[in-house]
Amino acid sequence: MDERRCRYCQKVFQPSKYQPLQVVCSEKACQQRRRVEYRRQKLTADEEYRQVCQDSSRKWRSRNRDYWKQYREKHPDAVTRNRDQQQARDRKQRLHDLANNTSVLDLKRSAASIWLLRAGAEDLANNNSVSAQVWVIEPLPRRIGPGSESCKQQRAGAFSVSAG
Ligand SMILES: [Zn+2]
């Protein structure tokens, strides 16, 4: 009896007599994981394999030009979810770029709203030569008392910083 432990699920299994070197059990999830990892490793290590896969994908796309268009039409929920996830990834990437910007030494979370005013301000995080006006607007504490001031009399605690 040659029993061994699966490298993924850690369960003890009996290797197939046709695969004496088997290290992964025959559970569907473990075999799937084994194939995915093998393919990933093969793609990085084998240039020819990578080329064949790319050609195969290219041919498939040219034969099925409308596949993704039709898929998106049939699965609007997937489109919405995908868009939301991409926007979240983009936001995270912008924050990551900002944190790696050498001119920013310390990032702190603030309750105040920050507005970047200028066309192309979205590039500010990646390009420290872009000039923009930054307005930090802090909420004022609520005033309690008789005869409260009108909106015009309240002063906004705002200041501007010119970056770049
Ligand atoms: Zn397993």
CA 143 – ligand 1 centroid, Å: 65
DSSP collapsed to 3 states, 54-65: HHHHHHHHHHCC
Q: What's this model's pTM, rounded to 2 decimal places?
A: 0.43
What are 47-70's pLDDT values in tens digits?
999 999 999 999 999 999 999 999
- Distance between Cα 3 and ligand 1 center (Å): 13
What domain range includes position 163?
109-141+153-164
Which position has the token pair 């369960």?
Answer: 11
Using a CB cutoff of 5 Å, list residues around ligand 1, an ion. 6, 8-9, 25, 27, 30
Residues 50, 74, single domain; the answer is: no
Looking at the structure of the chain, the number of domains it has is 3
The pLDDT value recorded for residue 36 is 97
Of 71-75, 91-95, 112-116, 140-144, which range is least confident? 112-116
Contact 34, 9 (CB under 8 A): no
Distance of CA 46 from the midpoint of ligand 1 (Å): 27
Same domain, 47 and 57: yes
Q: How far apart are the first and last CA of the chain?
A: 72
Residues 92, 34, single domain; the answer is no
Q: Are residues 76 and 98 in the same domain?
A: yes
Residue 8 located in a structural domain: yes
| Arithmetic mean of pLDDT over the chain | 79
